[in-house]
Amino acid sequence: MRQVNVKNIKFGDKQKLVLIAGPCVIESESACLETAGKIKRIAEGQGIPFIFKSSFDKANRLSIDSYRGPGLKKGLAILKSVKQQLKVPILSDVHCIQDIPAASDVLDIIQIPAFLCRQTDIVVAAAKTGKVVNIKKGQFLAPWDILPIIKKIESTGNKNILITERGVSFGYNNLVTDFRSLGIMRDFGYPVIYDATHSVQLPGGKGSCSGGQSEFVSGLSRAAVAFGCDGLFLEVHLDPANAPCDAANMINLKELETLLKQVKKIKAATE
């Protein structure tokens, strides 16, 4: 497997499990700094490398009334502040080609959202920045369908690629995880991340917004690490019940330390 480096963090075989975590969407600079700071302390306490994630614009919400975040300019300024003050790498998603130049100046990892993973132009534009590109496998794709998308990124000469599993559609308003996909996609030669919080999402489950079953996040995380993945993607919030976005599938920060202790032991047992 190819090793992918993000600052001093290494993804790949025989490397530490990496945590990508943060609130679904940016709510304020103070909230981001507080959440990222607390996650960093918890992760450092377990010896787990940490990358902060939050979205500056959630352009793929179901309802026109859904909270999208502060937007490109303000959102990137907040992420830059978190990066500089806390000295952590930053991941966020882009939803249009025009945002990529500005985003690449701040982000260490450019994420291609699941719904856009087959959009050639945005995938290639992200790849041309030379940044690490995280492909969120669409919930409508089989694991082997990710290979042509990898080839799109490789066509630019960029081989800094991560692949993220976030569940697959299982009927209406429901997702299920097929853990075989982790092994299938890792065989393509790049590190694979398991997104445990979006895998428990119930898309459109509340009519105009998504529902979720956050009570299953810990169990699925443990299973993914036992099966074999290179990192965990977790949306974490100080008060999920009152979060403006993805409230039903994010986990409370209070649960994070226990979960990291568990997956760290599982990771060690599989080595």
Angstrom distance (rounded) from CA 199 to CA 165:
8
Question: Span 184-207, mean pLDDT?
Answer: 92
47 by Cβ neighbours in 10 Å (0-12 / 13-18 / 19+) ranks as exposed
What's the sign of the alpha-carbon dihedral 177, 228, 115, 209?
positive
Angstrom distance (rounded) from CA 55 to CA 69:
7
**pLDDT of 142-170, one tens digit each?**
999 999 999 999 999 999 999 999 999 99
Does 137 score more than 70 pLDDT? yes
The pTM (predicted TM-score) of the whole model is 0.97
Torsions phi, psi of 59, nearest 5? -85, 0
**For residue 211, what pLDDT band results from cuts at 50, 70 and 90?**
confident
Cα 48 versus chain centre, distance:
16
Domains and CATH numbers, the chain: 4-269 (3.20.20.70)
So what's the pLDDT on residue 207?
67
* SS3 at position 9: strand
> Of all residues in the chain, what percent carry a pLDDT higher than 90?
89
